[in-house]
A = this chain, B = another copy of it.
Amino acid sequence: MAEQIAGRSQELIDEPNFAFVATLRKDGTPLVNPIWIDRDGDTILVNSSRGRAWPANLERDGRVTLTVPNRENQYEYVAIRGHLAGVTEEGADAHIDSLAKKYLGQDTYPFRQPGEERILIRIEPDEVKLFGS
């Protein structure tokens, strides 16, 4: 069963705060990328496109840590340790549009590249810890 995302942890994810996603390179060293983040209940939803390094890392080794700091207070953050639960192209375009709405206030994601294949990535949390609240 997935760990629950509740209370202030939920708020930090629902507000337009960036997540710092840490994945593992082939050689085992950590890669960290700031990304947009969303959730469906207790499942984390993120979005990328085929060929990017961090989702490729995640498909090779599904272990992942997401850190979501409050953009208005660097001392408050939620740390989520989890694992990859699924990658799909289905719904990925609609999902990046919903993230554009959340983070940019725009109905349509404005940075689409020609030929780009968006992917929707589901992550199940194994541990959710809140700090500095």
Contacts and interface: CB of A to CB of B under 8 A. Distances in A.
Contacts of A29: 24, 63, 65, 81
Contact of A65 (B32, B63, B69, B71): B32
B67 A32 contact: yes
Interface of A: 17-18, 20, 22-24, 28-34, 63-65, 67, 69, 71, 74-75, 77, 79, 81
B32 A32 contact: yes
B30 A63 contact: yes
Contact of A74 (B32, B34, B75): B34
Nearest to A66: B32
Nearest to A63: B29
Contacts of A34: 67, 69, 74-75, 77
A32 B20 contact: yes
Contacts of A22: 22, 30-32, 65
Contacts of A33: 67
26 contacts: A17-B74, A18-B69, A18-B74, A20-B20, A20-B32, A20-B67, A22-B30, A22-B31, A22-B32, A22-B65, A23-B30, A24-B28, A28-B28, A28-B63, A29-B63, A29-B65, A29-B81, A30-B64, A30-B65, A32-B32, A32-B65, A32-B67, A34-B67, A34-B74, A34-B77, A71-B74
